[in-house]
Amino acid sequence: MFRLGQRVIIVADSFEQGLPIGEHAYIIGRDRNPDSAFEWIVRIPKIDKHYPIVEADIALEEKLLEMEAEKVQREALLDYALATRNEALFRQLMGMQDDAVDKENGDPVKETPEEFIRKVNIKAWI
């Protein structure tokens, strides 16, 4: 939930109003009209305009920074796992399950490094 006067960032333009995505804005009012699709009124100081917007179009700067930090951390861990050939860390980060289980007696099957590299290359977006 947002408060009046709170600084937010515009992340989307659901109603195609020509909102400047990525710009800072300040919440200056709440639209309590039940017939309106908009929930908040924001002021964008850079272009000196007010816009009615929905809550999905804005986000707190702190939340966006947290999400970006988590993404960078995950990418760095993936790079480290690939550089050190740490298969366990790679599988944990990618959310891979141990599919290599012998169906007859339930014992894990050890895959060769070549098979592991082949699976990594299949999932890679290089």
What integer is the mean pLDDT of 23-45?
93
pLDDT score for 113: 80
pLDDT score for 102: 47
Average the pLDDT over each of 26-40, 60-74, 95-109 and give the range with the smallest value: 95-109
The CATH code that applies to domain 7-60 is 2.30.30
Where in the chain are all domains bearing CATH 2.30.30? 7-60
What integer is the mean pLDDT of 42-69?
94
For residue range 61-91, list pLDDT tens digits in order. Answer: 999 999 999 999 999 999 998 899 888 888 8
Backbone φ, ψ for residue 24 (5° rounding) = -80, 145
Percent of the chain with pLDDT over 70: 88
Q: What is the rounded average pLDDT for all residues in the chain?
A: 86
| Conformation bin of residue 22: beta by default, left when phi > 0, alpha when psi is -120 to 50 | left
- Residue 107, CA distances (Å) to 65, 95, 123 in order: 44, 21, 26
